[in-house]
Structure 1
Amino acid sequence: MTGPTDGSPEGTAATGPADPVTGPGQVPAAGDAYQVRALAGLPEIRPGDDLAELIAAAAPGLEDGDILLVTSKIVSKAEGRVVAADDRETAIDAETVRVVARRGTLRIVENRQGLVMAAAGVDASNTPAGTVLLLPEDPDASARGLRDGLRDALGVDVGVVVTDTFGRPWRTGLTDVAIGAAGVRVLDDLRGGTDAHGNPLSATIVAVADELAGAGDLVKGKASGLPVAVVRGLGHLVDPSGKEGARSLVRDSVDDMFRLGTSEAVREAVTLRRTVREFTDEPVDPGAVRRAVAAAVTAPAPHHTTPWRFVLLESAGARTRLLDAMRDAWIADLRRDGRSEESIARRVRRGDVLRNAPYLAVPCLVMDGSHHYGDARRDAAEREMFVVAAGAGVQNFLVALAGERLGSAWVSSTMFCREVVREVLELPADWDPMGAVAIGHAAAPPKERPARETARFVEVR
């Protein structure tokens, strides 16, 4: 690959001698030579311009099988996605769906197009002073419009990729990626095939549209005023019948192992934490629970103590023995209260969340290191401090489980029959069970939590 090769203002990268815009076209197989060249001759784009018409005028030699790589900025300009620079922060807010990470004034967010990027893609470069550009409202639709317009103007079947500049986690520097596409194979799924050595490919899906975008960026540059590149020689990637857009490059949240950002990770995990009462049969990873315990024991506690213990019930037999004994104790208590058998049965059914969970944890409080004052008031306050610390540990535990994509429900039932729990689980006499936590994979998405007005819970003095 090379830079400009002929003294013209068009940057060129080539693997063969043919002119990529005006020379004879071919549709080669994968592995054959291809050429990529920046397109000169485009005017400054303004709102309302027919971008397809302008590109057609600058590249009348486009052929079937060519692929156009179009910088999103000129698409945004043509579509009127221009706002005053004074409104940049407001524009970022309006384009943001979710804040992923924040450092000072810099925000990495998920925007309305589903892209995770800095400032929601609101950009102040390559636009007149005093203005900023928003990304196209629907980049895939923009790509389809350009493709249709070029077919109408030149009678050619081309692929179109709308590109934008991205930073990447764990990597320094920027590169172009595809944010919109039409008539192009966006992903090349090689799973089920084999490599050159006959090894099976089980996870290989190539982001073809992103690779095309990167190739175009090599010749367009960031400040050269060449917003369109043309690729020739990769006609096998053009799919006139395909409806796949660049949106398919965005990983679904359920498959995204790195969805959470930095300080926002904790806040999002807290938000994700819900009481889950129905679970699938999918087994729970014991390692995930132990990682949640590791988070739990970082909670604050009085006198530098460690008042938390977690009993993990990983076998079905242990869970059944405990829950059967607790049920019997609960029924006996309810009968002593004079409850009817119907009422008792109804209340016992509320414990099904524990019985139906594939994994249980019983958090316990220990008072090791507590102070004894010989004064009822101070001793009661001392215990309260430890109980609060136990609650903080359990909250850490629940939030960490949410971060592991595990659902949970903290049920208080073991606190009503502590002696029974100690006996069944063979716990020391000074371990106080503080409820039980049902753990598993949620059978359904959690219901939306009603919004709570923060001001209702705050008093300022």
Structure 2
Amino acid sequence: MRVPPPPSPSYEVWAVAGIPEVRPGDDLARLVADAAPELRDGDILLVTSKIVSKAEGRIVRADSREEAIDAETVRVVARRGPLRIVENRQGLVMAAAGVDASNTEPGTVLLLPENPDASAAAIRAGLRELLSVDVGVIVTDTFGRPWRTGLTDVAIGAAGVHVLDDLRGGTDAHGNPLSATVVATADELAAAGDLVKGKAAGLPVAVVRGLGHMLGDGSTAAQLVRTATDDMFRLGTSEAVREAVTQRRTVRAFTAEPVDPAAVRRAVEAAVTAPAPHHTTPWRFVLLESEAARRELLDAMRDAWIEDLRRDGKTEESITKRIRRGDVLRNAPYLAVPCMVMDGAHTYGHARRDAAEREMFVVATGAGVQNFLVALAGERLGSAWVSSTMFCRDVVRKVLGLPEDWEPMGAVAIGHPAAAPRERVPRPADPFIAVR
């Protein structure tokens, strides 16, 4: 929502002195009320997550911090040496899952609050009861940020504060429309508080006064976390390739949303980086972007398939079922037909060596197709590789007007997945490995 500014914007911020060492079971609202009885309606309280974790007993014994990080990690985003950027159980992407081994007894670590928004709400309710004040509460933690050096505090929990200021639909001072500006006000408040709390000053709570217009019910810090579909930077460094590979699925149902042709071309650019024999480029991709082209090809392939099945003695009922199973291509809003060409192949005049030469080109083409599928997953597009064009290459060449030396190597259905993919059953590597 849009947060209206005060008539004369200004505020003050200070750290609260006198907060004692927090222990499990302590009432944080009581500790703050005792240390800051002067709190007023409209004040915003900034509370370091570490004391929230201590009060809530989020202290666990661990043989090592790494062990605790493993337990709190949902997804590894990036890794460099011992440093890990991960998504933790709260959905936050941060270093070490927020596990802290400082200011706690040896052999123990601090985990982040289990539900920081609920923690903020509890502190707010406690202060309302103890001091009869309506304040906002933000639970803060320290984050690094992509592209920026250094750390800053951000909001991981909030209650009674508008965490976002949505300026979209408004105009700037020159009358230009604002179409994408949403300000993370809760993070800005958290950073302001950190300027007076400090990282090592023993002052875990700060107060902001003068910004009462930012108070309001209904917002939570969970709204600050981008969803996976909106996160353009979800993947990390070396993990990006692994994530794209593991996220690739065979998608058989698509929405009607059009496919961006530029995204497919970027995937082709990735495909043609695959290894190939003799410095050749054996990949060709025919992109069927019009519905008419897709329908003409698929109708011709269907007719050829039916003819083959009848020749094999299949019943009409059996043929109908088989054709229906091939509808994944027909239901896709975009098709690509990868082809192999053997320009540059060596001819040995020896059956075994010539067969091996062809196999090298087939493997190289397969590597290109795999690159293509993984790159499509990176573009958030679903795909399904279907081998059917390999069974009627003459038909495909004729319909698409391809040269005789282009060998269709299946077809790839492309589109936006109609549903979230099912969880992949993990496959350990050992059954597929032989060590000598």
Class of the TM-score when normalised by the shorter of the 2 chains: over 0.9
Q: How far 1:28 sits from its partner (Å)?
A: 8.0
Greater CA drift, 29-38 or 258-267: 29-38
Q: Is 1:255 equivalent to 2:234 in the alignment? A: no
Count of aligned positions: 433
**In the aligned structure 2, how far is the partner of 1:334 from the partner of 1:309?**
29
Residue 140 of structure 1 aligns to a residue in which SS?
A: helix
Distance (whole Å) between structure 2 residues aligned to residue 404 and residue 53 of structure 1: 50
Quick check: 1:270 aligned with 2:265?
no
Q: Distance in 1 between matches of 2:416 and 2:189?
A: 39
Match of 1:433 among 402, 408, 413: 408
Q: Deviations over 1:101-142 (max 9, x none)?
A: 001111000000110000000123344555432111111111
- The question of whether the paired residues in 2 share the 8 Å contact of 1:53 and 1:149 is answered with yes
Q: In structure 2, what is the Cα distance between the partners aligned to 1:349 and 1:42?
A: 70
Name the SS of the counterpart of 1:391 in structure 2: helix
Alignment of 1:122-137 (within 5 A): 122-137=99-114
Structure 2 residue corresponding to 1:424, chosen from 385, 392, 399:
399
Which residue is equivalent to 2:33?
56
**Are the counterparts in 1 of residues 338 and 410 from structure 2 also a CA contact under 8 Å?**
yes
2:272 pairs with 1:289? no
CA distance in 2 between counterparts of 1:30 and 1:316 reads 57
Secondary structure at the counterpart of residue 255 of structure 1: coil
Equivalent of residue 87 in structure 1, options 55, 64, 84: 64
Could you tell me which of 157, 160, 163 is aligned with 1:183? Answer: 160
Structure 1 window deviating more from structure 2 (144-153 vs 176-185): it is 144-153
CA-CA distance at 1:183 after TM superposition: 0.8
What is the one-letter code of the residue matched to 1:399? Answer: V
Counterparts of 2:38 and 2:155, CA distance in 1: 24
Offset, 1:356:
1.3
Report the equivalent of 1:111: 88
Provide the residue aligned with 1:449 in structure 2.
424
> One-letter code of the match for 2:346?
H
Q: Tell me, what secondary structure is at the counterpart of 1:268?
A: helix
% identical aligned pairs: 80
Distance (Å, rounded) in 2 between the aligned partners of 1:450 and 1:135: 29
SS of the equivalent of 1:40 reads coil
Counterpart residue number, 1:313:
288
CA contact (8 A) 2:64 2:107 kept: no
Is 1:382 matched up with 2:357?
A: yes
Indicate yes or no: 2:17 matched with 1:40.
Answer: yes
Equivalent AA in structure 1 for residue 184 of structure 2:
A
Which of these residues, 337, 355, 362, is aligned with residue 337 of structure 2?
A: 362
Structure 2 counterpart of 1:400, one-letter code: A
On the 8 A contact 1:30/1:234 being kept in 2, the answer is no
Aligned mates of 1:175, 1:450 — CA distance in 2: 38
Structure 1: 5+ residue runs without aligned partners? 1-26
User: Does residue 330 in structure 1 map to residue 305 in structure 2?
Assistant: yes
Question: Any conservation in 1 of the 2:170–2:177 contact (CA below 8 Å)?
Answer: yes
Q: What is residue 76 of structure 1 aligned with on the other side?
A: 53
2:212 paired with 1:235: yes
Matched residues in 1 for 2:80 and 2:423: separation? 29
Distance across 1 between alignment mates of 2:25 and 2:109: 17
Q: CA deviation at 1:366?
A: 0.8
Letter paired with 1:263: S
What is the CA distance between 1:194 and its match in structure 2? 2.1
Following superposition, the deviation at residue 31 of structure 1 comes to: 4.6
Amino acid at match of 1:430: D
Encode CA deviations 1:401-440: one digit per residue, 9 max, x unaligned.
Answer: 0000001110101000001111111111111000000111
- Tell me, yes or no, if the aligned pair for 1:42 and 1:54 is still in contact at 8 Å: yes
Matched ranges for 1:139-158 at <5 A: 139-158=116-135
Kept in 2, the 8 Å contact 1:30–1:236? The answer is no
**Residue 99 of structure 1: aligned partner:** 76
> 180, 192, 195: which is aligned to 2:169?
192
Q: Deviations over 1:278-303 (max 9, x none)?
A: 11111111110011011111111112
| Residue in 2 that maps onto 1:210 | 187
| Structure 1 stretch displaced more, 162-171 or 44-53 | 44-53
Q: Is the 8 A contact 1:161 1:209 kept in 2?
A: yes
Counterpart secondary structure, 1:293: helix
Could you tell me how far apart the structure 1 residues matched to 2:187 and 2:303 are? 61
Asked if structure 1 preserves the Cα contact closer than 8 Å seen for 2:48 and 2:141, the reply is yes
Q: Which residue of structure 1 lines up, in the alignment, with residue 375 of structure 2?
A: 400
Q: Is this contact kept in 2: 1:192–1:200, CA < 8 A?
A: yes
Counterpart-to-counterpart distance in 1, 2:349 and 2:428: 43
Letter in 1 for 2:179: S
Partner of 1:410: 385
Q: Per the alignment, in what secondary structure is the counterpart of residue 17 of structure 2?
A: coil
SS in 2 for 1:393: helix
CA–CA distance in structure 1, aligned partners of residues 424 and 199 of structure 2: 44
Shift of 1:450: 2.5
Separation in 1 of the partners of 2:7 and 2:220? 21
Distance 1:359 1:316 in 2: 8
Q: 1:210 to 1:315 in 2, by over 3 A?
A: same
SS at match of 2:64: helix
Which residues of structure 2 form unaligned runs of 5+? none
Distance 1:208 1:85 in 2: 36
